[in-house]
Structure 1
Amino acid sequence: MKKIIVTLALSAASTAAFAHTGEGAHTHGFLSGFAHPFTGLDHLLAMVSVGAWSVRQQNAKWLPATFIGALMAGMAAGAAGYAAPGLETGIALTVALMGVLIAMAARLPAALAATMVGAFALLHGNAHGLELPQASSALGLLAASAVLVYGGSLLGRVSPALALKLSGAAIAATGVALVATA
């Protein structure tokens, strides 16, 4: 058992050879992919927001899984070289809209909520697929995304309604600022 744990830990920590050198280049291993969503405010807020908002929706247990599944599809499209038009603006708009939904404690029909969350995840996944197209970094990114979305779900469950609404307003304002700079 100890050998299996050590092997898995070393596999997760290993990175691919540096294909790109110089300033701003990403390493492309599992850990790089895992760290990536924590380093961009837009992605961090969107993922936590989806989780926090989803717990107050009908059929809430499916929304985080919908997000992760659509995130994978968007990553595959990005890794294949497809860049959605207006990608950065679209991502910033997802942050603003999620903040508004949380601030208003909006409840949507299950199908609409899943479609919206899926569309948001496609955009975020597309950006990540363009930035981190290697399989090892994609796995790390998916693991971190699951942590953020399900962590947001936990925050949504334990946060008082007023605190959640105020957080939503702050997220919406951040999203508007991100749109202005996109």
Structure 2
Amino acid sequence: MKKIAALTLALVSTAAFAHTGTGAHSHGFLSGFAHPFTGLDHLLAMLAVGAWSVRQPNAKWLPATFIGMLLVGVATGAAGFTVPGLETGIALTVALMGVLLAVAVRLPAAASTVMVGVFALLHGNAHGHELPQAASAVGLLVASALLVYGGKLLGRVSPALAVKASGAAIAATGVMLAATA
């Protein structure tokens, strides 16, 4: 149990490195591409959106909605718009996506689209503050698309119980991230 707690805390601490503020990154394509992989919050949210979208009725547009709204969020962040409580909001998106996966919640297409769009807007806004240059935004979008569609593939090929267990772990991580935000 102590090893699990230590590992979990080590993983949670990596999320802090993803949001170090404007000027902390090189702002190139590779920096933008690497960014979603270096923050546990973004990594888990994007994988969860993809996996959850597979189990939603009439939700073939959820991954594309996430990527499109991520771009809108990047633009708002790069323009200087700040969302109050952004880090806590991002952590809560991770927790909620984990819960949705864990209990296999099915929502109407419109509700799931709006929810995923808002989540992406928050994640994109944070990235826009950190990676405001066009090259880094393109890298971010490419990596994000890989993660969301990778999550979709995992959701499609994984047994339902494995997806639910992953959702529970993602939800617990999101709660821990919110507690440390």
Structure 1 segments of 4 or more deviating over 2 A? none
Larger Rg: 1
* Cα distance between partner residues in 2 of 1:90 and 1:133: 20
TM-score (norm 1): 0.86
- Shift of residue 160 of structure 1? 0.2
Counterpart in the other structure of 2:44: 45
- Once the two structures are superposed, residues 115-142 of structure 1 have per-residue CA deviations (whole angstroms, 9 ceiling, x without a partner) of 0000000000000000000000000000
2:59 counterpart SS class: coil
Q: Which runs of 5+ in 1 are unaligned?
A: 1-23
Cα-Cα RMSD:
0.8
Mapping 1:42-121, distance limit 5 Å: 42-121=41-120
* Corresponding letter in the other structure for 2:158: S
Q: Which runs of 5+ in 2 are unaligned?
A: 1-22
Mapped contact 2:24–2:130 kept (Cα < 8 A): no
- Shift of residue 161 of structure 1? 0.4
Mapping 1:153-164, distance limit 5 Å: 153-164=152-163
Counterpart in the other structure of 2:139: 140
- Once the two structures are superposed, residues 147-167 of structure 1 have per-residue CA deviations (whole angstroms, 9 ceiling, x without a partner) of 000000000000000011000
- Once the two structures are superposed, residues 59-113 of structure 1 have per-residue CA deviations (whole angstroms, 9 ceiling, x without a partner) of 2210000000100000000000011010000000000000000000000000000
2:170 maps to 1:171: yes
- Shift of residue 145 of structure 1? 0.3
- Shift of residue 25 of structure 1? 2.1
- Shift of residue 58 of structure 1? 1.5
2:106 counterpart SS class: coil
* Corresponding letter in the other structure for 1:120: F
* Cα distance between partner residues in 1 of 2:114 and 2:80: 24
* Corresponding letter in the other structure for 2:105: A
* Cα distance between partner residues in 2 of 1:59 and 1:123: 24
* Cα distance between partner residues in 1 of 2:162 and 2:73: 32
* Corresponding letter in the other structure for 2:94: V
* Corresponding letter in the other structure for 2:137: A
* Cα distance between partner residues in 1 of 2:55 and 2:116: 14
* Cα distance between partner residues in 2 of 1:155 and 1:60: 16
Q: Count residues in correspondence.
A: 159
* Cα distance between partner residues in 2 of 1:83 and 1:44: 22
* Corresponding letter in the other structure for 1:93: L
TM-score (norm 2): 0.87
